[in-house]
Amino acid sequence: MKHLGKVFLFVLIVAFVIGGMAFAGGSKEGAAPAAAMSDSGFPPITHRPIVVGFSQIGSESEWRTADTASVQQSLKDDPDMQMIYSDAQQKQENQIAALRSFVARKVDVILFTALVETGYRPVLEEAKAAHIPVIMIDRDVAKEDQDLRLTIMGSDFIKEGQKAATWLADYLKKQGIDDGKKSIDIVELQGTTGSAPALERYKGFRDIMKDHPNWEITHSQTGDFTSTGGKQVMEAFLKADRNIQVLYAHNDQMALGAIQAIKEAGLKPGKDIIIVSIDGVKGIFQAIVNGESNCTVECNPLLGPQAVQAIHDLADGKKLPPRIWTIEGVYDASNAAAALPTRQY
Ligand code: AHR
């Protein structure tokens, strides 16, 4: 009898310990059970539809319009997805409010393009505390905040700046313009101050400039990635300096505005001033074909299919790579006309 009592006590203790462990690992509302975590650190998403909050920065360029349409269409076309969309209209405070509302609505995934690199840490911490995975699309946050997002898909902006400068070096050499000694005067239209593409395209171009000590950036200012900004700033550059040989624009939209300014100043864009920009929108392809611009480095905005695939992978419990790159080319007078009819943006 005494022995039976000991066995009973032992069974009771084991049941208590197991029960306690299950309680500790069990989920509070919204928290995931530890055992169900996938390699990405989030539990697989088993319900449908998967609710996706998409925070876009605005509609500053043709590129952005194509990007928004691609992501929205891909989400709409997928019966497993339900999208909540927010357009920040180029204001960071709007974007932070949108992210906060996604957290309050307990969306399953956040797709997020950061207007500028910094200033999002508190809201990203809120998303993390609510166990909502954040997938960056196109523009990333700064290095010190990247621990709060799961992955980034989009272009290598540093490489784009390097490609623009490499194309320029080759062109100047082939045209017999650069003897390596005479100064080459370059003006630069920067993108939105503090944004990832502006910071990285700035850097990438200068990486290559190190091999060309006679190149000089005589003026550099933001045109905010818009054609109005590009036109206004180029007008000011032209007033200050009539010897500009090259324009490097961080996007095509600003280059298109600058082309207007150059024409209005009585100069020939693409001839009197060599123009190299980034994106690959139809407008700049047409300008290259017309001889009014010289080169565009492609930056692919059609990120929708990749984004939807990543969400599916995440929902299936697969580990997402920390970086998902897009593949891009360089276009000038040698190949722009052939590519123009098939351009999608
Ligand atoms: O983030 C990508 C950049 O943003 C594109 O180059 C530009 O056109 C857009 O505004």
Whole-angstrom Cα Rg for the chain: 26
Q: Which ligand 1 atom is nearest residue 139's CA?
A: 1
Residue 38: per-residue pLDDT: 77
User: Distance (Å, rounded) from C-alpha 325 to C-alpha 152?
Assistant: 8
* Residue 135: closest CA among 111, 156, 102, 118: 111
Q: What is the pLDDT, as a whole number, of residue 36?
A: 67
User: Who contacts 342 (Cβ-Cβ below 8 Å, separation ≥6)?
Assistant: none
The whole-angstrom separation of Cα 101 and Cα 221 is 35
Rounded CA separation 266/291 (Å): 16
Q: What is the pLDDT of residue 42?
A: 92
Q: Is 139 in the pocket of ligand 1 (CB under 6 A)?
A: yes
CB burial of 19-57 (b: ≥16 within 10 Å; e: otherwise) equals: eeeeeeeeeeeeeeeeeeebebebbebeeeebbbbbbbb
Contacts of 181 (CB under 8 A, 6+ apart): 214
Sign of CA dihedral 203, 216, 235, 301: negative
Q: Is 278 in the pocket of ligand 1 (CB under 6 A)?
A: yes
Which two structure tokens, joined as six digits, stand for 162? 């390097």
Instruction: State pLDDT tens for residues 322-337.
Output: 999 988 999 999 999 9
Under a CB-based contact definition with an 8 Å cutoff, are residues 261 and 272 in contact? no
DSSP per residue, 271-317? TTBEEEEEE--HHHHHHHHTTS--EEEE-----HHHHHHHHHHHHTT
Mutate to test the pocket of ligand 1, among 55, 60, 64, 227 (most ligand atoms within 8 A of CB): 64
- φ, ψ at 323 (rounded to 5°): -145, 130
pLDDT of 27: 35
Residues 6 or more apart in contact with residue 311 via CB below 8 angstroms: 50, 52, 81, 109, 111, 135
CA atoms within 13 A on the CB side of 292: 17
φ, ψ of residue 159 in degrees (nearest 5): -60, -35
Distance CA 41, CA 35 (A): 11
Q: Is 63 in the pocket of ligand 1 (CB under 6 A)?
A: yes
Q: How far apart are CA 117 and CA 152, in angstroms?
A: 13
Mutation probe of ligand 1 site: the residue of 159, 225, 303, 328 with most atoms within 8 A of C-beta: 225
* Cα 62 to ligand 1 centroid, rounded to whole Å: 9
Q: Is the peptide bond before 49 cis (omega within 30 degrees of 0)?
A: yes
Neighbours of 10 (CB within 10 A): 10
Q: Split the chain (345 residues) into runs of 10 and give each run's mean pLDDT.
A: 50 41 35 61 95 98 98 98 98 98 98 98 98 98 98 97 98 97 98 98 98 98 98 98 97 98 98 98 98 98 96 96 93 97 95
Q: Which atom of ligand 1 is nearest to the CA of 299?
A: 6
**190 within ligand 1 shell (Cβ under 6 A):** no
For residue 11, the model assigns a pLDDT of 46
Contact status, residue 275 vs residue 284, Cβ threshold 8 Å: no
Q: Are 222 and 229 in contact (CB under 8 A)?
A: yes
Test site for ligand 1: of 68, 116, 253, most ligand atoms within 8 A of the Cβ: 253
pLDDT in tens, 228-285: 999 999 999 999 998 999 999 999 999 999 999 999 999 999 999 999 999 999 999 9
Q: Going by DSSP bridges, is the β-strand pair 330-332/295-298 parallel, antiparallel, or unpaired?
A: antiparallel
Question: In this predicted structure, what is the pLDDT of residue 103?
Answer: 98
Q: What is the pTM of this model?
A: 0.90
H-helix or E-strand containing 220? strand 215-222
- What are the C-alpha distances in Å from 263 to residues 75, 167, 271, 294? 42, 24, 11, 15
